[in-house]
Amino acid sequence: MTADDMITAEASGTWKLGDLPVHRIGFGAMRLTGSAAFHHGTPSDRGRSLAVLRKAVGLGVNHIDTAAFYFSSLRSANELINTALSPYPDDLVIAAKVGPYRDHHGEWGTSARPDQLRGHVEENLRQLGRDHLDLVYLRRMRQDSVAEHFGALAELREAGLIRHLGISGVEPRHLAEALEIAPVVSVQNRYAVDRPGPVDDEVLRLCGEHGIAFVPFYAVAGETGERGATTAHDDAVLSVARAHGVSPAQVRIAWTLHQGPHVLAIPGTGNPGHLVENVAAGALRLTEEERARLDEARAQAG
C-alpha cells in the first residue's frame, strides 16, 4: 500500500450539484471501454474496468461522468457502471451527456435534433438501469444557439426523467441562453494547465458567480485530448511535481481544483494505479508561488 492508497475523495472537499453533494474529485468513464474509446481498437479488460469502478467508489468517489456514446466494439461504459455498481449507493451521482450520436458501428452521426433527445436520455436510463438521471448535460455540437435543445431537456426535467441539467462545450452566451430557460447546475468544458483559453476562463468565472459547477475535461490528457495522457509537460508542472513527490498528472488535476471551489475533476482512467493517484491529487495543496508559476507557464503556452 502506498501513501496515495490511504487518501479518499473526501480530501478534495465537496460541492453541491443542485441538491446533490459530491466530492470534488470524481471519475470520467470514457477510458473504461478501451485504449481509445472512440475507435475500434482493443476493448478494455472487462474485469479490470469493473474493478476500477468499484475501487473508485471504495475511495469515496460519488460523481461519475458517462455517456451512452462511450463504447468500443465490446464494451459500453454505461453497462460497466451498471454491472459494477448497481444497486447504486444512495450518494452516487451519475452524470450523462446527450447530443452527440454514434451508430452501431461507432461512426459519428449528425448530432441529435431536439425531438430526439428523449430517446438519448432513455438509452442512458436503460443502460444504467435507472428510472431517472441525476444530471444530464446537453453536449453542444455545432449549433449556434442551445435554446431549442436545452429547452427539450428542460421538458424532460419537468417530466421527471432528469433531476438536474448541465451544458457542455459552451461559451458564455450559451450559458446565458440556457439560464433563461432552466437552472443549470454544471458546465463541462475542455480546460487544462497547458491550454490557455480566455473564453473558458470567462465561463469558469461566470460559473463561480452563479454558483454553478465547472467541470473540466481533458485536464490530464491536455493537448493530446482523446489520444490519452500528454507526456509533454511544462517545466513548471514537472518542478512542482518533483517538489511534492507526485506525478505530473496529479499536479494537473490539483491545478484545476485550485481554480475555484466550484471546479470539480473527472479524470478518466482504466488503470487502477492511476485511479489511486488521481483521487490522491485531491489532497494536494499548491502554494501561491507554485500556482503563480503554473499560471505563468499556461499564459505562455498561448
Ligand X SMILES: NC(=O)c1ccc[n+]([C@@H]2O[C@H](COP(=O)([O-])OP(=O)(O)OC[C@H]3O[C@@H](n4cnc5c(N)ncnc54)[C@H](OP(=O)(O)O)[C@@H]3O)[C@@H](O)[C@H]2O)c1
For the annotated catalytic residues, the residue numbers are 70
- For the CB of residue 250, give the shortest distance to ligand X in the complex, in Å: 7
- For the CB of residue 51, give the shortest distance to ligand X in the complex, in Å: 13
Closer residue to ligand X (CB): 159 or 285: 285
**Helix, strand, coil shares, percent, the chain, to 5:** 45, 20, 35
Closer residue to ligand X (CB): 140 or 293: 140
* Contacts with ligand X, residue ranges (CB under 6 A): 28-31, 65, 97, 139, 168-169, 188, 217-221, 228-229, 247, 249, 266-271, 274, 277-278
3-state secondary structure of 41: coil
Closer residue to ligand X (CB): 160 or 245: 245
3-state secondary structure 204-244: HHHHHHHCCEEEEECCCCHHHHHHCCCCCCCHHHHHHHHHH
Instruction: Single out the residue of 42, 93, 100, 50 nearest to residue 70, CA to CA.
Output: 100
Alpha-carbon distance of 196 to 14, in angstroms, equals: 26
Work out whether strand 20-23 and strand 14-17 pair parallel, antiparallel, or are unpaired.
Answer: antiparallel
- For the CB of residue 7, give the shortest distance to ligand X in the complex, in Å: 13
Closer residue to ligand X (CB): 221 or 294: 221
- For the CB of residue 264, give the shortest distance to ligand X in the complex, in Å: 11
Amino acid at 244: H
Amino acid at 187: V
Closer residue to ligand X (CB): 7 or 219: 219
- For the CB of residue 54, give the shortest distance to ligand X in the complex, in Å: 16
Alpha-carbon distance of 70 to 34, in angstroms, equals: 10
